[in-house]
Copies of this chain bind each other. A is one copy, B any other.
């Protein structure tokens, strides 16, 4: 098999140098929307699901949620909820009636319609790491604040890898750009360097509205076309315990009123902002998410909403957050059961506590990603590039994670367990009989180029071959690959007129002062 000239599909960009180097050529799986065909892992019995639901409903009815948003308070009053100052209590009948309005499945269509996403059903989609303030790579070798260039490089990876379906928040916070205009520069970079679905931070009116305008411009859309279906989304967190702040709710209201999608993801860290028991932390998370989703469904019936989970536990020694733990996995699976109970699409994450892209980083990330699969998550945030509990973005980790994501996507392909007559291969087994091997036979020749997953980063050489090739450990291989991808990156096509219009918009909004920086 070794001497057969395998035809290689190239991913985006030119991999000429890589091909000439012989070893680490980047071969990718094609763009697709993976379908998760596994029955979810369900730790909870039906009674367990009801116990968490009952807990969430009692939280909403008896304790209530603080909304630091006057408009939301007014809407809750109109809806007949009990509003005491900023505290809102709502009955389960109303909450469930509202939640039932949410669609179980919807689409998000970015400027390149070939990148349209289906959120819900059995689809499982992955996005890049979002919002770390810091950056680490092997060349720099230490933790440094993010810059626009680092951010752009991570956006190039976001675009390059077919296993990444959408752009999350900023893959690293570019703190070299003033906060008032940061969203303008980064969105310009995001929209020109990628053609995948866009995210807006709900951090103030101007930021949300600017991003919506820029997405409209990039897509060449009229306001009517923009509103006709989701073109982008926001992701908000509650301020656990039991509080929603002003800008997050404000941003969501602005998006849903123009037909865009929202993801509501409480961050309930068991033992810190939520009970030390996982079921308690999940119940609180469900309550915090459902009250916001109910609000949005009251305002805009049928608007696309995703319920997110970010329930993990603290380190018992230090109180610091831990990620990819056994408890994290169970919380994610439990939330999946509740999301199905409510008929809502679900978001989880690819996460770790490790500080560098080593063995720990990969077992923690693997734990979280397999929990995403097992929970029936539809959207996986932070799926590539996350380190140090989300405080560091790393291009090496990004590429290592993409190798794992591709394997998960391959795992979901039904031909890995097909059992037709040609799969059982009785005739081939008979042909080879009790000695010899299957390398040369026709059944193998007909299939071997597509039969198995082909990694782009894993090194399957034996030790001697690996040593002869420089004895390069995984993160260093990923680092070389990072340099090559960036070096040969070609942005997706964009009409020059649209690019100019985007640039003009950014320039005009900068002159106007951008966004206030009081958030």
Contact = CB atoms under 8 A, between A and B. Distances in A.
Interface string A406-426: 011011010011111011111
Given A41-B41, A435-B243, A453-B325, A422 B277 contact: yes
Interface of A: 1-2, 6, 37-39, 41-44, 47-48, 51-52, 54-55, 58-59, 62-66, 87, 134, 136, 142-143, 241-243, 270-280, 283-284, 313-320, 322, 325-327, 329-330, 333-334, 353-367, 370, 388-389, 391-392, 400, 403-404, 407-408, 410-411, 413, 416-420, 422-426, 428-430, 432-439, 443-444, 447-449, 451-454, 457-464, 466-467, 471, 473-475
Contacts of A429: 55, 59, 63, 241-242, 274-275, 280, 283-284
Closest 8 CB pairs of A and B: A280-B425, A275-B425, A366-B366, A326-B411, A55-B424, A359-B474, A43-B417, A51-B419
A59 B44 CA distance: 41
A458 B424 contact: no
B272 A63 contact: no
A416 B326 contact: yes
Given A44-B417, A360-B403, 12 more contacts: A65-B434, A87-B434, A275-B443, A283-B425, A283-B429, A322-B460, A326-B413, A330-B416, A333-B417, A355-B467, A359-B474, A391-B463
A319 B422 CA distance: 21
A390 B419 CA distance: 29
10 contacts: A1-B319, A39-B41, A275-B429, A275-B438, A280-B428, A314-B452, A319-B439, A326-B407, A359-B361, A391-B462
A58 B430 CA distance: 10
Contacts of A242: 429, 433-434
Contacts of A466: 355
A271 B444 contact: yes
Contact of A275 (B272, B278, B284, B428): B428
A316 B459 contact: no
Contacts of A365: 363
Nearest to A414: B43
A452 B325 contact: yes
B274 A438 contact: yes
A416 B475 CA distance: 33
A276 B438 contact: yes
Choose among A330, A423, A448 the residue with the greatest number of B CB atoms under 10 Å from its CB: A423
Contact of A358 (B358, B389, B408, B432): B358
B66 A434 contact: yes
A361 B475 CA distance: 12
Given A65-B434, A271-B1, A316 B277 contact: no
Nearest to A65: B434
A37 B45 CA distance: 12
Contacts of A473: 356, 358-359
Nearest to A430: B63
A89 to B, nearest CB: 11
A6 B370 contact: no
A454 B136 CA distance: 27
A1 B314 contact: yes
A419 B279 contact: yes
B37 A434 contact: no
Given A370-B370, A452-B322, A424 B51 contact: yes
Contact of A6 (B87, B143, B316, B416): B316
A366 to B, nearest CB: 4
Contact of A55 (B274, B319, B356, B426): B426
A64 B362 contact: no
Nearest to A274: B438
A242 B428 CA distance: 13
Choose among A318, A325, A424 the residue with the greatest number of B CB atoms under 10 Å from its CB: A424
A94 B56 CA distance: 57
B41 A463 contact: no
A366 B362 CA distance: 9
B330 A454 contact: no
A458 B358 contact: no
A17 B30 CA distance: 52
